[in-house]
Structure 1
């Protein structure tokens, strides 16, 4: 080349050369080869500065791949979602794989891409990491340059050229294409960039999002969930076997459960065990240690398996950050933090929308906003919107239609969230969660399923944050959960619960702390309810000395202990002693609390009741009649305690021989309880029980049988099959079935009931002994 002074300076898009020529002809001669090769050039006589721009390149030959497909995981598990994916895009169309981070969406898409590409089913494969709009445009633009002669200097135009090229055209060669848009972080990034529907093309997107915008226009949304137990165990087994490691199946099943069947967690845990040489049992022990974090129990970033680039502990951090920026701004993170303290299997929406929960959200928003002076009031609808944001990013599952278990959170998302909290916030958050549970716990538990869910959430809270719930004293939610167990009729479970709570109170608060004494009180109470009245009386006598020394003789808790001691003495067979003890206590409470105090009135009723149990039935009727007047004046005619007194008065009238009067009184009481308390209230059910009983005592055995059969249906629905009152209703149904002329049916029913009573109440419980005696009667 004449006069050439040096090499051309070239980039991907331009070439610049400085060429010295003596004339135009030399210039043309020097550059002719470049011109003929498709470059545009500008010529000047003399020293020539020539700008060379590369023209459109020839389209790449098929088959052609753009982008790098992630390798298959070491122990990839074929799953039902893969078959749904294939079915969704059969013959053209798009599948959107959505689910929480770590469930294996990318692996499913990668397996499909590898299979179809290696099987010769594709002419063009495009894999794009679609974390933002720029990345999508860049990937499309590269495809446009390589396949459509697009101008690489105009990425937006090149991307649209490629999308237009994908549309089917009559007479053109049919290109079989597959586009994978992996990890779409925001559906808005794909506005105008979704691949077209084509009979010759297929598309797959993976995302953690759940917006409605993902569906429609030929797109099929497929939810990707956790591994099944079998899939999880197969994954662990094959991953370990690849390193010549083998573990007992029961340990693999347990580890899969510990990790919530999450594919990412299983993969990283396996790598950690292999690298550290730990066996499954030892690793599980470390995993259960609250002092260890997920960061400590999973591989470091450089040691992650399967080309993974995010450690488990950070797998959801970007999603949480994005959620916190969405409307309502600043509420998603504190809502997730609160949910992380509760039961992963189901949190009632009422708990997360309670006053303590809203105060927690408001406080966090105020901290986030700084001292701007704005109002930070949070409304219940704001809490719901925060839950919806978390749901949209697959950080929780929010199903408002199932209110009792409206929110579910994977246990590892919960753990990662808790471990990210500053230590000073962990305790405050635990107490807030306890406050939220107490705030929605009903005084009267009419929905046994709801009560069980509240107890499960309390158990989870106590497991996640045991220490804060005892500082500076026992949190009320611990007592409420124990009372709930007893109210549900789970007497054995209640006794075990209070035994464990008492031991924790001794360790955390000391033996003389009022809360420790309260746990002793409830433990002893349920000891008596389990049938050990003698042991309970002795324990209450000891507790009375303790409370008198620590609290004083006039403290309300000391007086409550005296009442329970008197009651258990009566249950142990000393009705006269119980009546005398309650009479003494009545004088004491009248002096300390006054004659109209609710506790004084309760004691007045106890005196009347135990007087009747000691044989003075007429005295019991008179005493309850007097108490009824007193309670009506102080509390009003519709107060539950006034209604209870009417029930006691009716009972003792019946015991005094006035069956007709008892039936009439119970019938009137039932009408009032239905009006005041509703049909499902336990006291309403008790009134129905008593009406049925006295109908039978009046000779209408058929009606009594029918009434008890109807009552049993409601007891089963409201209280469950193992509640003592349900067992009592079954006992009465069997009795009146026999009285109505079916002794064989009665014997059979009592035999079944005895088995259940021994299982629920134990062989020595008074009710079990009554059932045993009734069975013997009807068998003979």
Structure 2
């Protein structure tokens, strides 16, 4: 994850001016071939009292004999009317009846969520590199295009918040494919893509039947008139009816008695709720009272007193899925313990113990029992789902100070769950979705008293996953907001400017990055001083961008001066000091001192092994750079041998499709040829080309360079 002061860019040496490419005389391990039928994503569980309704049959009627009369259908309606449940029922029905070979369920609340889901599908089916989700998503959409032998598929895009998020991401029209969308929007643009299916409230008969079926399943019966009256009180809103049914089942209360409690609670909330017609999603005051009663009941269940603060925390995060470890981790346990101690503050009994992970899970089960959340521990990355209406009702019941405090607690919980190395694509995608949801509902509270680190984590994760444009957009927004709220000289503002400049450089705008870093350095020196770690990071990045902009000698001078200050301020073994040494060695080689680069990287590798260990990414990078400069210094045999040994470790640590592994294969192929084995280079590049086509696609620059390399070494082989 990002160092405390921002992004410190690490130069990497490669061959043919493109270090992200590589070779093999080595046969990669066989890859898993997807078997059909295949499902990607998790379908939400069926509601306990799912109501068969007219829309169910309208959806199924559009399907004719395994093909589709309507290739895209859009379920549109206000929140809480059961759109997701209808879509899930349709998907399960088609899957269970053998109508599909591929089912992809996408929680589509943001554009990034759609891209990430498509990328996961592409990784399963096409074995694309998950580190480049935007390219993988486009590869998946291209694969969905009509072609002989394509499987029958259904793509469900659930909870689309903005039709613009689907620009260039709509599945193609296909005689064997279907698309199903759920959304609160009714934009004309949606109708151009498919048939609009309005979803409204239950009819009075459906609403009464919903309550009756829920109670009958528990061996209970109630007067039909009482159930109809309760349904009327709740406005026939499916979500509110589910809440009421769970409460009746759990408490054993009669429908008539529940109506009395509901009316009393609505009167109590009258001064706290907005005016009629201004509640979220047009819900009624009795519906809001239903959430309140259910929360009270859940909070009474063991472990007593924990359900409410747990639900309040979940209300700040992604409604489509919160990872289990976020809500059972140390930050959340501290939040729950504080509530337990506060409730106990006047009790004469001994202070209660800290909340355990098991008790946190118990609070989730209590909320699940009252249908306030859906808790599915087996779905670790999306273990907790909560309806947006419930979230908004909970958040709007909180005072602004407490809501701001909750935002910081939720942000801390996300950071605690964020891995240092993002190897689990599903987890990091879920964490990004939760950070995005939190930022949206926290407004500017995460910018006080400084920018919360979760905003940096999100931006770094976007960039490191290959979404550099998204990272730039994110850090531009953070910089603008910090400048407005904290001022231009605040350390958080300076940090955000540093990250923005770094990702501009990573996107290829080295001149712009250097100019931005130059201006930033003036402000860093004025505000933080010359020895502050953040100032040193800006100097390091500025030196790198100058070098990449064409001034190799200037980069050498700048890194040499900077190294002295790093040694003085941070010491010889600090990771940032080692990165500066790596960059200095790199630019020495670029400036023409290849022997000096070899010597410097050999010494640096020893220190990396000592400080970080043999499998750390920076250690592997140092080995890559040493091997490349050995070749540049006139030892192609040594370079080829070193890259062959490094490839074994890259495969073991990173896997066959990681960009660094492909880089390694390119470099091994290149130096195999330079060592005199042109035929071996052709064989290696040809094998690499197959994987570049599969992982990166035919138009990727690295694929094109590999094709050029094959032609080059074929000519050399013909001359031998």
Band the TM-score falls in, shorter-chain normalisation: 0.5 to 0.7
Question: Which residue number corresponds to residue 420 of structure 2?
Answer: 443
Q: Does 1:456 align with 2:437?
A: no
Q: Distance in 1 between matches of 2:651 and 2:207?
A: 65
Question: Alignment partner for residue 659 of structure 1, among 609, 631, 636?
Answer: 636
Greater mean deviation of Cα atoms: 498-507 or 668-677: 668-677
1:749-768 equivalences under 5 Å are none
Question: Which residue number corresponds to residue 185 of structure 1?
Answer: 247
Question: Which residue number corresponds to residue 355 of structure 1?
Answer: 330
Question: Which residue number corresponds to residue 54 of structure 2?
Answer: 78
The answer to whether the 8 A contact 2:81-2:202 is kept is no
Question: Which residue number corresponds to residue 428 of structure 1?
Answer: 405
Question: Which residue number corresponds to residue 129 of structure 2?
Answer: none
For the residue of structure 2 that corresponds to 1:330, the secondary structure is: coil
Gaps spanning 5+ residues in structure 1: where? Answer: 1-75, 85-99, 116-125, 143-181, 194-204, 209-291, 743-780
For the residue of structure 1 that corresponds to 2:275, the secondary structure is: helix
The answer to whether the 8 A contact 1:294-1:416 is kept is no
Describe the superposition over 1:465-519 as per-residue Cα deviations: whole angstroms up to 9, x where unpaired. Answer: 1232112111110111111111112121111111111011111211111111000
Which of the pair has more CA radius of gyration?
Answer: 1
The answer to whether the 8 A contact 1:709-1:733 is kept is no
1:299-378 equivalences under 5 Å are 310-370=285-345, 371=347, 372-378=349-355
Q: CA deviation at 1:638?
A: 4.8
Length-normalised TM-score, structure 2: 0.60
Q: Distance in 2 between matches of 1:294 and 1:188?
A: 26
Q: Distance in 1 between matches of 2:375 and 2:251?
A: 25
The answer to whether the 8 A contact 1:434-1:458 is kept is yes
Describe the superposition over 1:28-47 as per-residue Cα deviations: whole angstroms up to 9, x where unpaired. Answer: xxxxxxxxxxxxxxxxxxxx
Q: 1:668 to 1:712 in 2, by over 3 A?
A: farther
Q: Does 1:623 align with 2:600?
A: yes
Q: Distance in 1 between matches of 2:642 and 2:626?
A: 9
Q: CA deviation at 1:297?
A: 5.7
Q: CA deviation at 1:523?
A: 1.0
The answer to whether the 8 A contact 2:411-2:438 is kept is yes
For the residue of structure 2 that corresponds to 1:296, the secondary structure is: coil
Q: CA deviation at 1:349?
A: 1.6
Q: Distance in 1 between matches of 2:507 and 2:671?
A: 28
Q: 1:423 to 1:504 in 2, by over 3 A?
A: same
Q: CA deviation at 1:681?
A: 6.8
Q: CA deviation at 1:429?
A: 0.8
Question: Which residue number corresponds to residue 240 of structure 2?
Answer: none
Q: Does 1:416 align with 2:393?
A: yes
Q: CA deviation at 1:351?
A: 1.3
Q: Distance in 2 between matches of 1:114 and 1:598?
A: 65
Q: Distance in 1 between matches of 2:59 and 2:363?
A: 34
Q: 1:585 to 1:497 in 2, by over 3 A?
A: same
Q: 1:460 to 1:188 in 2, by over 3 A?
A: closer
Describe the superposition over 1:274-298 as per-residue Cα deviations: whole angstroms up to 9, x where unpaired. Answer: xxxxxxxxxxxxxxxxxx9963362
Q: Distance in 2 between matches of 1:683 and 1:537?
A: 26
Q: Does 1:485 align with 2:547?
A: no
Q: 1:710 to 1:418 in 2, by over 3 A?
A: same
1:538-557 equivalences under 5 Å are 538-557=515-534
The answer to whether the 8 A contact 1:688-1:711 is kept is no
1:177-216 equivalences under 5 Å are 183=245, 185-187=247-249
Q: Distance in 2 between matches of 1:547 and 1:651?
A: 35
Q: Distance in 2 between matches of 1:114 and 1:436?
A: 41
Q: Distance in 2 between matches of 1:399 and 1:630?
A: 46
Q: Distance in 2 between matches of 1:430 and 1:357?
A: 12
Gaps spanning 5+ residues in structure 2: where? Answer: 1-51, 61-78, 86-199, 227-243, 259-270, 716-720
Q: Distance in 2 between matches of 1:360 and 1:689?
A: 50
Q: Distance in 1 between matches of 2:672 and 2:701?
A: 17
Describe the superposition over 1:638-666 as per-residue Cα deviations: whole angstroms up to 9, x where unpaired. Answer: 55433322221011112234333222112
Q: CA deviation at 1:670?
A: 3.0
Q: Distance in 2 between matches of 1:707 and 1:694?
A: 14
Q: 1:364 to 1:647 in 2, by over 3 A?
A: same
For the residue of structure 2 that corresponds to 1:446, the secondary structure is: coil
Q: CA deviation at 1:530?
A: 2.0
Question: Which residue number corresponds to residue 387 of structure 1?
Answer: 364
Question: Which residue number corresponds to residue 703 of structure 1?
Answer: 684
Q: 1:129 to 1:618 in 2, by over 3 A?
A: closer
Q: CA deviation at 1:416?
A: 0.5
Q: Distance in 1 between matches of 2:286 and 2:208?
A: 25
Q: 1:418 to 1:683 in 2, by over 3 A?
A: same
The answer to whether the 8 A contact 1:130-1:185 is kept is no
Describe the superposition over 1:204-225 as per-residue Cα deviations: whole angstroms up to 9, x where unpaired. Answer: x99x9xxxxxxxxxxxxxxxxx
Q: 1:634 to 1:369 in 2, by over 3 A?
A: closer
Q: Distance in 1 between matches of 2:214 and 2:691?
A: 63
Q: Distance in 2 between matches of 1:617 and 1:309?
A: 74
Question: Which residue number corresponds to residue 34 of structure 1?
Answer: none
Q: Does 1:730 align with 2:708?
A: no
Q: CA deviation at 1:680?
A: 7.5
Question: Alignment partner for residue 519 of structure 1, among 496, 499, 511?
Answer: 496
Question: Which residue number corresponds to residue 211 of structure 1?
Answer: none
1:280-295 equivalences under 5 Å are 295=274
Question: Which residue number corresponds to residue 277 of structure 2?
Answer: 298
Question: Which residue number corresponds to residue 536 of structure 1?
Answer: 513
Number of residue pairs matched by the alignment: 492
Q: CA deviation at 1:617?
A: 1.7
The answer to whether the 8 A contact 1:334-1:364 is kept is yes
Question: Which residue number corresponds to residue 35 of structure 1?
Answer: none
The answer to whether the 8 A contact 1:294-1:312 is kept is no
The answer to whether the 8 A contact 1:527-1:533 is kept is yes
The answer to whether the 8 A contact 2:53-2:206 is kept is no
Q: 1:693 to 1:347 in 2, by over 3 A?
A: farther
Q: 1:535 to 1:136 in 2, by over 3 A?
A: closer
Q: CA deviation at 1:185?
A: 3.1
Q: CA deviation at 1:621?
A: 1.3
Question: Which residue number corresponds to residue 55 of structure 1?
Answer: none
For the residue of structure 2 that corresponds to 1:316, the secondary structure is: helix
Q: CA deviation at 1:427?
A: 1.4
Question: Which residue number corresponds to residue 163 of structure 2?
Answer: none
For the residue of structure 1 that corresponds to 2:620, the secondary structure is: helix
Q: Distance in 2 between matches of 1:81 and 1:363?
A: 50
Please, what is the CA RMSD of the aligned residues? 4.2
Question: Which residue number corresponds to residue 449 of structure 2?
Answer: 472
The answer to whether the 8 A contact 2:631-2:639 is kept is yes
The answer to whether the 8 A contact 1:582-1:607 is kept is yes
The answer to whether the 8 A contact 1:391-1:397 is kept is yes
Q: Does 1:564 align with 2:658?
A: no
Q: CA deviation at 1:573?
A: 0.8
Q: Distance in 1 between matches of 2:533 and 2:365?
A: 47
Q: Distance in 2 between matches of 1:83 and 1:704?
A: 50
Q: Does 1:111 align with 2:205?
A: yes
Q: Distance in 1 between matches of 2:285 and 2:273?
A: 13
Q: CA deviation at 1:607?
A: 1.3
1:223-302 equivalences under 5 Å are 295-296=274-275, 298=277
Q: 1:127 to 1:82 in 2, by over 3 A?
A: farther
Greater mean deviation of Cα atoms: 428-437 or 456-465: 456-465
Q: CA deviation at 1:569?
A: 0.6
Q: Does 1:603 align with 2:580?
A: yes
